């Protein structure tokens, strides 16, 4: 008897326990969760579905479909799948509603089964309600295999009695991870794979890379990492195989680790102009993601743990050295240092002069200018009412100064950002031998007092000598001394105030005004001029 031929056309159900998948009033119930069938045979998969009676829905070819698990995101109806062309049939019964719920049935038939048909099959129905698309999970697992029968004769004395043993392909493997829970970098981890198969399955481990390609890792039921690294994280596949067929299962490994490669970047980079926007961005490789603490000049900042940090309008006081520190429960790591260089135009310069005060003609004077700026400021010197540049540099020295060089000076501090001018600095130049108005005034007062005193003394001596001479004449003529004035009246007393004023006037200073509008003074003491003036005012020469 051809067992293979006899087996064709029948279906064996394994674990034919109804599987219910539901969400409130929406649900799908499959007739079985696992189906085992022979290659070349026919299989029927059926389900019932339910939904609220207030949903207006009637099943048709556009609202129901059967698909395989690999097409979850964009399912393709098996009726339109080239792999199943001419081999699949699907049908749905009438919907009936009782109470507040409606019920329907649908079935899928696959003819001429192939081993490539081994897959998970799911049913989906769509209503006219928003979000009214529903898929029944976890679906039905179909295993297609050749019939493998082992014949044995337990009783050698009875050759008509035989025992038949059916072999089957591995079921979908299961994977366990030891130790369980979170996996920390540097620990030892073992993955174990097992499957129900007859004959026993062999196991192969693969790492599934991007694009679903895979790389063989190990042969055997266990995959061991004695010192697991963060780079190990990813999808791992265990494949169980025997002479009947093979199955596989994917398992993910997520390795936890502290921050690595912590760094800070500035956007934009380089020098930042005052008032512009700048963002500091801290990044780190960590699992789980790290929180960040910011530092300026090694002092912690009260910024939130989120990143990046933005200065909408950067200021000069924001200038400094920044870094961040990344931290999670597995460790912490500081970043590189980044210098935030905020450039700004010079503030109003301050000016000084050395030596200070009035400057004598022919001496040397140095003007100095200073200002805060970033980048460093350059300096240019100007004189009031003149457009030409007098000098460049922070210091301006005038040697052998003349009165024509006196006046108001100012400096201009400038860089690539802008410029500012200083206030005026007044330079007063005096001709040698002259004194300033204030000092000349003191000297003139002192000289005037001395001259007036001397004039008074001379006048008293002159009067005393004149009176004595008059007395001698009177005595020689036999007259009395007390009649001299009557005999010789002279307007001496009348001219005493005038004489005194003339003597004092000789000590007065004569101001000289320089080109810069400031005064220096010199005292004129011409004896001949004073004497001529005195003789004229007294009406004649002295008899002395």
Tokens of 335: 């970043």
Residue 418 and residue 274 in contact, taking contact as beta carbons nearer than 8 Å = no
**pLDDT at residue 337 greater than cutoff 90:** yes
Instruction: Provide the greatest CA pair distance for the chain.
Output: 211
Helix (H) or strand (E) holding 480: none
Lowest mean pLDDT among 207-221, 249-263, 282-296, 358-372: 207-221
Q: Which residue has the higher pLDDT, 490 or 136?
A: 136
Residues 140 and 10 in one domain: yes
pLDDT of residue 540: 38
Determine whether 407 is exposed, middle or buried from the number of CB atoms within 10 Å of its CB (0-12, 13-18, 19+): buried
A 10 A CB-CB count for 223 gives: 24
Helix (H) or strand (E) holding 184: strand 183-184
Helix (H) or strand (E) holding 205: strand 202-208
What are the residues whose beta carbons fall under 8 Å from the beta carbon of 393, sequence distance 6 or more?
379, 381
Which CATH number covers residue 339? Answer: 2.60.40.10
Would you say residue 167 lies in a domain? no
Using CA atoms, how far apart are residues 36 and 18, in angstroms rounded to an integer? 15
Region 15-21: what's the mean pLDDT? 46
pTM above 0.75, yes or no: no
Residues 482 and 527 in one domain: yes
Range of the domain at 226: 174-253
**pLDDT at residue 61 greater than cutoff 80:** no
pLDDT of residue 529: 38
pLDDT of residue 333: 95
Q: Band of the pLDDT at 95, cuts 50, 70, 90?
A: confident
Highest mean pLDDT among 69-83, 411-425, 431-445, 486-500: 411-425
User: How many CA atoms lie less than 13 Å away from 8 in the CB half-sphere?
Assistant: 9
Would you say residue 163 lies in a domain? no
Would you say residue 49 lies in a domain? yes
Would you say residue 158 lies in a domain? no
**Of 285, 309, 343, which residue constitutes the final position of a domain?**
343
Would you say residue 66 lies in a domain? yes
What DSSP letter does each residue of 361-425 carry, written as one string? TT--EEEEEE---BSPPEEEEEETT--S--EESSEEEE-S--GGG-EEEEEEEE-SS-EEE---E
Q: Which residue has the higher pLDDT, 103 or 153?
A: 103
Residue 26 and residue 57 in contact, taking contact as beta carbons nearer than 8 Å = no
Tokens of 417: 């950002």
Using CA atoms, how far apart are residues 215 and 210, in angstroms rounded to an integer? 11
Would you say residue 448 lies in a domain? yes
pLDDT of residue 8: 42
**pLDDT at residue 519 greater than cutoff 50:** no
Q: Which residue has the higher pLDDT, 14 or 240?
A: 240
Q: Band of the pLDDT at 211, cuts 50, 70, 90?
A: low
Q: Which residue has the higher pLDDT, 391 or 505?
A: 391
pLDDT of residue 289: 92
Count the domains in the chain: 5
């Amino acid at each position: 008897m051809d067992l293979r031929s006899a087996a064709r056309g029948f279906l064996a159900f394994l674990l034919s326990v109804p599987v219910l998948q539901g969400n409130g009033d929406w649900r799908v119930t499959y007739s079985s969760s696992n189906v085992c069938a022979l290659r070349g045979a026919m299989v029927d998969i059926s389900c019932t579905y339910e939904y609220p009676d207030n949903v207006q829905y009637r099943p048709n070819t556009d609202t129901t479909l059967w698909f395989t698990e690999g097409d979850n995101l964009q399912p393709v109806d098996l009726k339109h799948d080239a792999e199943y062309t001419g081999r699949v049939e699907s049908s749905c019964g009438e919907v009936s509603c009782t109470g507040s719920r409606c019920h329907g049935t649908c079935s899928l038939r696959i003819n001429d089964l192939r081993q490539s048909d081994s897959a998970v099959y799911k049913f989906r129905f769509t209503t006219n309600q928003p979000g009214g698309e529903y898929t029944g999970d976890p679906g039905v697992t179909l295993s297609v295999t050749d019939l493998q029968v082992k014949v044995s004769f337990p009783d050698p004395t009875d050759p008509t009695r035989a025992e038949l043993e059916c072999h089957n392909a591995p079921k979908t493997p299961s994977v366990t991870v030891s130790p369980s829970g979170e996996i920390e970098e540097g620990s030892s981890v073992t993955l174990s794979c097992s499957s129900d198969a007859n004959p026993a399955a062999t196991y192969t481990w693969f790492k599934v890379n991007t694009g679903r390609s895979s790389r063989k890792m190990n042969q055997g039921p266990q995959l061991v990492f004695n010192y697991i690294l963060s780079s190990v994280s990813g999808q791992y596949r265990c494949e169980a195989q025997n002479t009947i067929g093979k199955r596989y299962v994917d398992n993910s490994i997520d390795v936890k680790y502290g921050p690595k490669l912590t760094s800070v970047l500035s956007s934009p980079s380089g020098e930042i102009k005052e008032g512009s926007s700048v963002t500091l961005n801290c990044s780190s490789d960590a699992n789980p993601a790290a929180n960040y603490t910011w530092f300026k000049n090694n002092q912690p900042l009260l910024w939130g743990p989120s990143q990046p940090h933005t200065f909408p309008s950067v200021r000069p006081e924001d200038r400094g050295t920044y870094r961040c520190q990344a931290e999670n429960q597995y460790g912490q790591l500081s970043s590189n240092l980044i210098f935030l260089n905020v450039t700004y135009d010079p503030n109003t310069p301050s000016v000084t002069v050395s030596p200070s005060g009035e400057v004598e003609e022919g001496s040397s004077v140095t003007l100095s200018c200073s200002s805060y700026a970033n980048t460093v400021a350059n300096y240019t010197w100007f004189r009031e009412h003149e457009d030409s540049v007098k000098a460049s540099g922070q210091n301006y020295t005038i040697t052998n100064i003349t009165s024509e060089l006196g006046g108001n000076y100012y400096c201009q501090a400038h860089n690539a950002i802008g410029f500012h001018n200083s206030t005026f600095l007044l330079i007063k130049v005096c001709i040698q031998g002259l004194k300033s108005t204030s000092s000349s005034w003191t000297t003139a007062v002192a000289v005037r007092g001395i001259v007036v005193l001397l004039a008074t003394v001379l006048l008293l001596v002159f009067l005393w000598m004149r009176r004595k001479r008059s007395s001698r004449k009177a005595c020689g003529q036999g007259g009395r001394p007390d009649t001299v004035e009557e005999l010789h009246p002279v307007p001496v007393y009348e001219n005493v105030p005038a004489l005194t004023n003339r003597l004092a006037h000789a000590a007065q200073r004569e101001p000289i005004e320089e080109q810069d509008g400031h005064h220096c003074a010199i005292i004129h003491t011409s004896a001949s001029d004073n004497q001529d003036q005195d003789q004229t005012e007294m009406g004649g020469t002295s008899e002395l």
